[in-house]
Amino acid sequence: MNSISDQCTGSATPLAGLAIPFAFVPTLSVVDVERLRTAFAERAMAPSTRRALLGDGRLFVTWCGQTKRQAMPASRETVTAFLAAAAADGRSPATLRRYRSSLAWWHAAGGFANPCAGSAVAVLVLEPDLTDAAMAALRTFMEVAQRGYAKATLRATEADVRLFAGWCRQRGLSWLPAEPATVGRYIREFGGSRKPATVARYLASISLIHRAAGHTDPCRHWSVTLERRGHARAVGSERRQAAALTDAVLAPILDDLDPEQPDRRKPLRPIDLRDRALLLVGRDTLARADELVALRWADLRPVDPALNPDAHPGEATIRIRRSKTDQEGQGAEAWLSAEAVAALAAWRAVAPRWPADADGERPHTRDGAFLFCHLSRSGAGERMSPAAVRRVVERRTGEANPCAVGFSGHSLRVGAAQDLLAAGVDLPGLMQAGRWTSPAMPARYTERLRATRGAVARVRRARGLADT
C-alpha cells in the first residue's frame, strides 16, 4: 500500500481544487453534494477547523479512490483500515483522533450514520511483532471497549501502552507479553519523574492490555506489587489539589462581570457574559469541566413554585446527562439559582447565531445545542472544551488577583464543596450534590476545613474561652 502522504501530494488528482472533498464521490447524488456544500459553508467554525475538515476529507477520499473503497457513506471497516494505514505511515494518536472527528463531521453533515463509532485504532492492533491470536484478541477487545469504556480511558490506555512498548523496544525487551521483571524495571526507571498515581495508571493500562490479549497479567506478580509500593514510599503519594474557588473568592469576579453594575465605564463583551454564566452554573451544579461543557439548552427547565413552595422565582434545573461516575448515562438533575439563570439569559441574548442543520429542518437560532460555546478572534465554535473552562477560571481569577495561583477547571467544584460543608451540609448531602459515589474525594476536598472543625479544635477553643 502506498503511504498516506504519497497518495495525497501534488495537484494531479481531480479532487485537489474542489471546494469540498466529496463532490465527485459516485455514490452521492447532486442533492447529497449540495447538502454537504451548504453545511460546510454555513456552519460557524474556526478557520483552522475548516482547513482541517477540508484536508482530512481530501486525504480520505483520495485514499478510498486508490484502495477501491466507498468514501461516503463509508463503512466502519473502511474507516478502521484508513486509520490503520495512517498509523502505519507514522501519524500520531492526536492526528488519528482528528481524522476520526473530521470523518464523523462530514457524515453527520451529509445525513449519514457515523462510521467512526468503534473504529479507534490503537497501536496494539498494528504492532508487527504480535501473534495472530494476540491481534485477533486485541481487535475483539477494541470493538467491545468502544462501548464499555469512556473515551478518556481508552485514550489514556493507548498513550500508556505506546510509552511502554517504545521503552521496551529501545531495550530489546518484549512488551506483550511482558515479564514481571520488565515491568519492575520500567517502574524503577520512570518512577523518579512520575507520581504514584501516574505509575498506578501505567500499571492498570499494561494489565488491561495483557488480559485483553489473553496473556498472564505481569502486574499481579509480587515483585511488581513491591516495586509499586516502594516507589510510593520513596516519592510520596500526596496529590496536589486545585485551589478552591469559594463564594468569597468568586464574589468580586462576578461583581466585575455583572452587567447591572451602575458605575460600569464600558459595556461587557459577549465573552464576559459567557464567563459569568459559566462560573455561576459551575458553582451551583458542582459540575466537572467535561460535564459543564456538555450541558444543553434543551435540558434547562424552570422550577414550578406550585410544586416547591420553598423555591424562589427564577430558579431552574438542568440535566447532567452523563458524568465520570455515570458512564451509562442515567443522568442527574442539578439545581440552578435565579442568579445563574439570569446570567444564562444575558449570555443567550448575545450568543453567536448558529445556522440550520444540514437538512434545513431546524430554523436559525441564537444559540447552539450547548450552553457554552467557544469564542475567539478567529471565530466561534458550537461547544467549549474542558481545557477552555480551565483557561476561563485562570484568566478571571488572575484578573481579580494577580497573585492567585493553583486555580483550574476543578476549582469551582472544590470551592462549592467547601462552601456546602461550611454551611453545615453533612457528607451524604455533599456526595449527593456533587454526584460522588465514594466519600473519598469530597473528604479530600474538605480536609483542611474539617481539620478546623475537628475534636481538638473544638476542645481547645472551648478551654480558651473558659480560661478567659
Query: Per-residue pLDDT tens for 305-343?
Result: 778 778 788 889 999 888 777 666 678 888 999 999 999
pLDDT band at 60 (very low <50, low <70, confident <90, very high): very high
Place of cell 462510521: 115
* Contact criterion met (CB below 8 Å) for 282 and 392: no
Q: Is residue 298 part of a domain?
A: yes
Best CA proximity match to 39, nearest among 90, 111, 120, 140? 111
d(CA 30, CA 37): 10
Task: Concatenate the DSSP letters of all residues of 60-101 into one string.
Answer: HHHHHHHTT---TTPPHHHHHHHHHHHHHTT--HHHHHHHHH
* Contact criterion met (CB below 8 Å) for 291 and 409: no
Mean pLDDT for 385-403 is 88
Mark whether 52 and 199 lie in a shared domain. Answer: yes
Q: How much is the mean pLDDT over the chain?
A: 79
Q: Is residue 381 part of a domain?
A: yes
Q: Is residue 467 part of a domain?
A: no
Per-residue pLDDT for 140 more than 90?
no
pLDDT band at 361 (very low <50, low <70, confident <90, very high): very low
Angstrom CA distances, 59 to 68, 136, 381, stand at 14, 28, 24
Give the sign of the dihedral formed by CA 36, CA 37, CA 38, CA 40: positive
Mark whether 348 and 439 lie in a shared domain. Answer: yes
Q: Is residue 240 part of a domain?
A: no
Domain closes at, from 235, 256, 281? 235
Mark whether 29 and 168 lie in a shared domain. Answer: yes
Mark whether 136 and 18 lie in a shared domain. Answer: yes
Mark whether 139 and 185 lie in a shared domain. Answer: yes
∠ at Cα 179 (176, 183), nearest 5°? 90
Q: Is residue 317 part of a domain?
A: yes
Mark whether 221 and 257 lie in a shared domain. Answer: no
Give the pLDDT of residue 134: 63
Total count of domains within the chain: 2
Mark whether 58 and 200 lie in a shared domain. Answer: yes
Q: Is residue 106 part of a domain?
A: yes
Q: Domain range spanning residue 305?
A: 247-451
Give the pLDDT of residue 9: 38
Mark whether 141 and 37 lie in a shared domain. Answer: yes
Mark whether 156 and 196 lie in a shared domain. Answer: yes
Per-residue pLDDT for 58 more than 80?
yes
Q: What is the CATH number of the domain that holds 441?
A: 1.10.443.10
Angstrom CA distances, 456 to 18, 156, 269, 320, 427, stand at 74, 43, 50, 40, 20
Q: Is residue 461 part of a domain?
A: no
Mark whether 85 and 184 lie in a shared domain. Answer: yes
Mean pLDDT for 11-38 is 71
Mark whether 187 and 319 lie in a shared domain. Answer: no
* Contact criterion met (CB below 8 Å) for 54 and 21: yes
Span 241-285, pLDDT tens digits: 778 888 898 999 998 888 887 777 778 888 999 999 999 999 999
Domain closes at, from 193, 212, 235? 235
Mark whether 251 and 207 lie in a shared domain. Answer: no
Task: Concatenate the DSSP letters of all residues of 138-152 into one string.
Answer: HHHHHHHHHHHS-HH
Beta bridge partners of 365: 354
Domain closes at, from 185, 208, 235? 235
* Burial class (CB within 10 angstroms; exposed 0-12, middle 13-18, buried 19+) of 111: middle
The fraction of the chain above a pLDDT of 90, given in percent, is 15
pTM of the model: 0.62
